[in-house]
Amino acid sequence: MIMNHFLWLLPLVFPHLSSPVILLEKSDGNLFHWNHLMKGDKLVLHRSKRDWMWRQFFLSEEYTGSNYQYVGKLRSDKDRGDGTARYVLSGEGAGTIFRIDEKSGDLHATQRLDREEKASYTLQAQAFNKITGLPLEPATEFIVKIHDINDNEPKFTKAVYTASVPEMSDVGTFVIEVNATDADDATYGNSAKLVYSILEGQPYFSVEPETGIVRIALSNMDREVRKEYQVVIQAKDMAGQMGGLSGTTMVNVTLTDVNDSPPRFAYSSYHLSTYESAEIGSTVGRIKANDGDEGENAEMKYRIVDGDGKEYLDIITDETTQEGVIVVKKKLDYESKRVYTVKVEVTNTHQDPSFTDLGPFLDTAIVKVTAKDVDEPPVFSRPQYVFEVNEDTPKGIAVGTITAWDPDATHYPIQYAIDQHTDAERLYHIDPKNGSITILKSLDRELSKWHNISVLASEINNPHQRSRVPVLIKVLDVNDNAPEFAMIYETFVCENVKAGQLIQTISAIDTDDPLVGHKFVFSLSSMNPNFTIFDNEDNTARILTRRSGFNRREMSVYYLPVVISDSDYPIQSSTSTLTIRVCSCDATGNMRSCSVDALLLSAGLSTGALVAILLCILILLMIVVLFSALKKQRRKEPLIISKEDVRDNVVSYNDEGGGEEDTQAFDIGTLRHPEVIESNKLRRDIIPEMLFPYHRPSPMKECADVRDFIISRLQENDTDPFAPPYDSLATYAYEGNGSIAESLSSLESSVTEGDHEYDYLSNWGPQFKKLADMYIGKDTGVAI
């Protein structure tokens, strides 16, 4: 079928195209795409064959119209135009963002689009037969691109930047680089082309328009003048042209310190004061120089470079406060000098050679220290005194003299004394006025070679001002001790010894200490027929036998007096006795046995001493035996034989009795009758004959021996004026159930005590007279 030629002109205007698109439809169904290009006045057409009339559409973002935004028209070459073709759209945003007219194929955007959210949409279009529902041809994909407009301002990566740069930096020194971004399309137009500029911070800083690098724009920026700067940077798109969008950020710039400020004293001179009694090392005062720098650039060092007080004062640096501390180096003296002057210099410890042209990094100041007067204690002429004295110096001789004075202007007189804690033996005395030390007792170098005492000096008008000085007294040696044996020698001689044989080598000691050393001379006090001595001249001597044939039966011990002399002046000598035992020896000279007496003598114990020791041992043994015997005699027969043996030893005292001093009682053991105990185990009662005669039978008939014993003892005590008074005595051996006397408790006799008769008390003698007066003739009484 041949169809008429139709010319379709799609009214699509694409911003990136300079010519409209002309679509021509031929009768054979083929579509031709012609680009309308004008070359002068001549129209040039290019043929392009395709099945669909679309491949790509462009759509502007941020559409503000009230109607849907028209995208374009879709049509298939299979569409006959009879209304049987139906167009269907699928893909990204189909049905929501994009809608297509099923009949005409017109495509519209229903929403306002943002290229920064999504730059393009991929869709698929297909034509169907309305009647059969079958596709007229396969689906074709096309793209809708969102065309960018300048709707986003530049944004910096940080809202606030922080940077630091050394002070006094040169112009052009790098400070920091800032960066901004633009969400618009950088490939299309100038929407994302940024230009940087400074809004605040001139003339100190500048920024490169294209890179955003901030640099120093002013030289000699001093941190001590201003430390902090705030720079506002702007980034503008559209290459900075009018109408472009912009964004800003702030850069906080801090100038870091360099050592460009020398230290300076606030004053040219300082005045301080301290007491003359200030101790060495004590603080007088503090001074400080000012330095505008900080950190290690502000660290300073102080020193004294000149002044008449340089010997007495010193300065040290307090590293924490950077102050110069004036301290006492040597004791100040108000009386000799009132004002001490020093010149102090301060310098930086860390200097930068780059800034030496700014001037010398040091300063000086004068410090004057005034010494204030105090009442000082006496001062000795020497810090320590050393005297020497011979040990044989007589009492009262002066050893030396101590000198002290009052350093104050008053010059009070001084009095001296020895600290008694340092001279406990009271060997020395000091004159309180002139300080002369004399000897009170004899000295002995062998007991103590040095005497260390302390002398006190105080002002007479103010005894609290006191000073102390050590005095060392060396006791010089005098040859006043004779040499003696160096040890106790155990010397023996063999019976078979030969003449001239060595039996002992002896040496000596001397407690004296001569300057040239000891030199001892050994000799015998007299000629000895048995032994001789040979001086070795080295402070030792040899004892030799003069004969042979010693016999211990004839003489078991020999005593050899040896005279030992020294060579000092005056010569001192002593005689020491060497004990030589005669012993039995073998052929080689080894001792076999010696007499007992000789052995005892060699041990240093005499026979009498041994006898005394044995007697002491014997006496101790006898004392032990005696104590043992006395202990056995003191053992008594126990009063309680069994659990039923319960006794009461009742001793009653009245006004005539012995009271608490009467502590002697009868021996109960002597009142017990063995036959009664063994026969009936009954208790024997020793009571007055007529005591309780009514209901308690008296056992006195069966105990006549006890009665006679008591009566005889009673008569003895009655006639004895020095015997303690015994009012009554009752001994109970077996009281209680089963006893002949039954219960003796006074509580049981209370019912019948009114029937008691006490006439028998008058027969007991004068010692019971008061008791009889109390009970006889009365209707009631007290049971005892």
DSSP 664-713: ----HHHH--HHHHHHH-PPPB---TTSSTTTS---TTT-HHHHHHHHHH
CB 505 within 8 A of CB 541: yes
CA dihedral 413, 418, 419, 421 (to 10 degrees): -170
Phi then psi dihedrals of residue 127, to 5 deg: -100, 135
CA geometry: angle 115, 118, 120, nearest 5 deg:
90
| Whole-angstrom distance, CA of residue 221 vs CA of residue 228 | 11
Does the structure show a pLDDT above 60 at 741? Answer: no
Q: Which residue has the higher pLDDT, 605 or 585?
A: 585
CB burial class (10 A; 0-12, 13-18, 19+) of residue 332?
Answer: buried
**Predicted confidence band of residue 522 (pLDDT cuts 50, 70, 90):** very high
pLDDT of residue 686: 46
pLDDT in tens, 51-79: 444 567 777 777 777 788 888 888 888 88
- The predicted model scores a pTM of 0.40
pLDDT of residue 736: 55
DSSP-derived letter for residue 84 is: -
pLDDT in tens, 319-345: 999 999 999 999 998 888 999 999 999
CB 473 within 8 A of CB 389: yes
Residue 203, preceding bond cis, omega within 30 degrees? yes
**CATH superfamily of the 264-372 domain:** Cadherins (2.60.40.60)
Query: Which element (helix H / strand E) includes 165?
Result: strand 160-166
**Predicted confidence band of residue 17 (pLDDT cuts 50, 70, 90):** very low
pLDDT of residue 745: 55
Q: Which residue has the higher pLDDT, 485 or 186?
A: 485
CA geometry: angle 513, 515, 520, nearest 5 deg:
65
pLDDT of residue 209: 92
pLDDT in tens, 673-691: 444 444 444 444 444 444 4
- Say which residue the tokens 């290459």 belong to: 239
Does the structure show a pLDDT above 80 at 316? Answer: yes
22-26, 424-428, 533-537: least confidently modelled range: 22-26
Does the structure show a pLDDT above 90 at 369? Answer: yes
pLDDT of residue 108: 85
pLDDT of residue 203: 92
CA dihedral 647, 653, 654, 655 (to 10 degrees): 180
β-pair type (37-39, 180-181)? unpaired
Domains of the chain, residue spans: 56-147, 155-256, 264-372, 379-476, 484-593
The two three-digit tokens of residue 236, written as one number:
């503008």
| Whole-angstrom distance, CA of residue 702 vs CA of residue 741 | 13
Provide mean pLDDT across the span 718-734: 61
Query: Under CATH, which architecture does the 379-476 domain have?
Result: Sandwich (2.60)
CATH number listed for the domain at residues 56-147: 2.60.40.60
Q: How many CB atoms lie within 10 A of CB 678?
A: 8
Distance of CA 748 to the CA centre of its chain: 82
Distance of CA 521 to the CA centre of its chain: 66
Return the SS3 of 548: coil
Fold type of domain 484-593:
Immunoglobulin-like (2.60.40)
Give the largest CA-CA distance in the chain: 193
Please check whether the two domains, 155-256 and 264-372, share a CATH topology: yes
> What average pLDDT is seen over the chain?
78
HSE (side-chain half, CA atoms, 13 Å) at 460: 9
Provide mean pLDDT across the span 660-673: 49
| Whole-angstrom distance, CA of residue 20 vs CA of residue 34 | 9
Strand locations in 350-483, DSSP E?
Answer: 362-372, 379-380, 385-390, 398-401, 404-405, 414-418, 428-430, 436-439, 450-459, 466-476
Phi then psi dihedrals of residue 706, to 5 deg: -70, -40
Query: Under CATH, which architecture does the 155-256 domain have?
Result: Sandwich (2.60)
CB 685 within 8 A of CB 741: yes
Provide mean pLDDT across the span 588-612: 66
| Whole-angstrom distance, CA of residue 568 vs CA of residue 514 | 7
Buried b (16+ CB within 10 A) or exposed e, 582-595: bbebeeeeeeeebb
β-pair type (56-60, 140-147)? parallel
Distance of CA 501 to the CA centre of its chain: 74
Does the structure show a pLDDT above 60 at 535? Answer: yes
The two three-digit tokens of residue 177, written as one number:
């680089």
- Tell me how far CA of residue 258 lies from CA of 87, 254, 316, 321, 350, in angstroms: 79, 13, 25, 20, 10
Q: Which residue has the higher pLDDT, 767 or 637?
A: 767
Q: How many CB atoms lie within 10 A of CB 361?
A: 21
**Predicted confidence band of residue 431 (pLDDT cuts 50, 70, 90):** very high
| Whole-angstrom distance, CA of residue 141 vs CA of residue 383 | 117
* Contact partners, residue 747, CB within 8 Å, separation at least 6: none
- Say which residue the tokens 């300079």 belong to: 18
Q: Which residue has the higher pLDDT, 578 or 126?
A: 578
Phi then psi dihedrals of residue 354, to 5 deg: -70, -20
